[in-house]
Structure 1
Amino acid sequence: MNIIISNSSNLAIYEQIVNQIKSAIINKEVVAGDAMPSIRGLAKDLQISVITTKRAYEELEKEGLLYSVTGKGFYICEQNTDILKEKKISMIEKHLQDILNECKAAGLSLEDIQDMIEVLYQETE
């Protein structure tokens, strides 16, 4: 699992970490029982505050995605990936709705939007 922090993102650093770990779980890059990097180790690797990584891990623990073992660190929980995937789809739908509103405001037709999506989708392959 590779976590990348973007300084140009609108999201707080801890939220970027949370989102990337959630994606890694959904994509099965990490599985139940896998050890997470230590809070200090991750902070050092990302060159960020220990408080920030601690906040991200605590948020993931509250959501039931990580569990901690005193003196050993954090581990990936056994969870229902379908629920995570549904949350991700819901978030994507919200973003798409915002984009569609902008497209309509710009006077784009459904055909224009579909063409744009096809081109962009092919570029990501």
Structure 2
Amino acid sequence: MKLIINNSSMQPIYEQIGIQIRTKIMEGELSEDTMLPSVRTLAKDLRVSALTVKKAYDALEQEGFIVTVHGKGSFVACANQEFMLEEKKKEVEADLEMAIRKGRSCGMSNQEITELFQIILED
């Protein structure tokens, strides 16, 4: 599994790992029941601590993206389409909030932002 770790990022490494695996699951690159690399293997490949990978896997399991079977490994969980859709909606909401903040920071009024949004929706 190809993951890219940015050591100069302010984002913790375990979050970078989790986000990339979550994205691969949501985009269908990792399908249901796919076995993930073991904690030790992924840690060795990424040259990070096994505890860092374990923390990422634990977070993914808590979010329902993966299931860990003791002695067998970690697997992509059954794809809960409602959950996946909700996650994508959260991303859209965050992107819209960021766009609104940018618009306000350059002096755009709510009316101007709304008009721009309507123009973009029409395209």
My pick for the range that moved more, 33-42 or 58-67, is 58-67
CA deviation map 1:60-113 (0-9, x unaligned) = 111222112222211111121331232132133223312321222213555xx7
Q: Does 1:95 align with 2:95?
A: yes
**Contact 1:67–1:75, Cα closer than 8 Å, also in 2:** yes
**Paired letter, 1:20:** Q
TM-score by length of 2: 0.78
Q: Does 1:52 align with 2:40?
A: no
* Structure 2: runs of 5+ lacking an equivalent: none
The number of residue pairs the alignment matches comes to: 114
Runs of 4+ in structure 1 deviating by more than 4 angstroms, as ranges, are none
CA apart distance, 1:37: 0.6
Computing the radius of gyration from Cα coordinates, the structure with the larger value is: 2
The equivalent residue for 1:23 is 23
* Structure 1: runs of 5+ lacking an equivalent: 118-125
CA deviation map 1:36-68 (0-9, x unaligned) = 011011111111110000011111111222112
**Paired letter, 2:75:** Y
TM-score by length of 1: 0.77
- The 5 A counterparts of 1:38-77 are 38-77=38-77
CA apart distance, 1:15: 1.1
CA apart distance, 1:10: 3.1
Percent identity of paired positions between Structure 1 and Structure 2: 38
Q: Secondary structure at the match of 1:67?
A: strand
Q: What is the distance in 2 between the residues matched to 1:81 and 1:35?
A: 20
